[in-house]
Amino acid sequence: MIRIYSWTEDEDEVALDAVTVGIKSDTRILTVAGLQFGQRDAVVYYPEWQGKGGLIPAAMEGPMPVQSALERAERLCAQHDFKRVVVWLQHQELWDARWGQLALEPGL
C-alpha cells in the first residue's frame, strides 16, 4: 500500500498532532534535462505532545537521509501515539515517489 502524506512548502505551517519530516536541499544543479536537486537532507520534528507515557517534550532530530527520516517518524508516531506523519518540503520537486505519494493539495 502506497503511503500518502499531507505536505506543505510553508515553513510556518505546523501540525500539532503529527511528526513532521522536513526535506531540503541546499544545492540546485541546472542540467539539459531540467532542474535537478543535489543531496536531499531531512530532519524529524515533533511538537510537545501528550503521549502514551505522559508529556513528550518537543524535539528535532537530524539531518539524516530522507528514507531514514520517514522511517524514524513512523516509529515515533507509534511510540508516542502521534496521529500521523506529515512532510514539509523546501520545494515540491524534492519529493521522490519511491518514498510514497503526496496528497493532491498542499496543507497540513
- pTM higher than 0.75, yes or no? yes
Cα–Cα nearest to 80, from 45, 49, 59 = 49
Q: Is residue 67 included in any domain, yes or no?
A: yes
Total of domains in the chain: 1
| Predicted local distance difference test score (pLDDT) of residue 1 | 78
| Predicted local distance difference test score (pLDDT) of residue 2 | 87
Q: Look over the chain and give the mean of its residue pLDDT values, rounded to a whole number.
A: 90
Grouping H, G, I as helix, E, B as strand and the rest as coil, residue 44 is: strand
| Predicted local distance difference test score (pLDDT) of residue 32 | 42
d(CA 82, CA 5) in angstroms, rounded, equals 14
Q: Is residue 62 included in any domain, yes or no?
A: yes
| Predicted local distance difference test score (pLDDT) of residue 26 | 74
d(CA 81, CA 97) in angstroms, rounded, equals 26
The range of the structural domain enclosing residue 77 comes to: 4-102
d(CA 44, CA 72) in angstroms, rounded, equals 8
Q: Is residue 108 included in any domain, yes or no?
A: no
Q: Is residue 107 included in any domain, yes or no?
A: no
Cα–Cα nearest to 63, from 81, 83, 90 = 90
- Which segments in the chain show pLDDT lower than 70? 27-37
CA 91 to chain centre: 12
| Predicted local distance difference test score (pLDDT) of residue 31 | 47
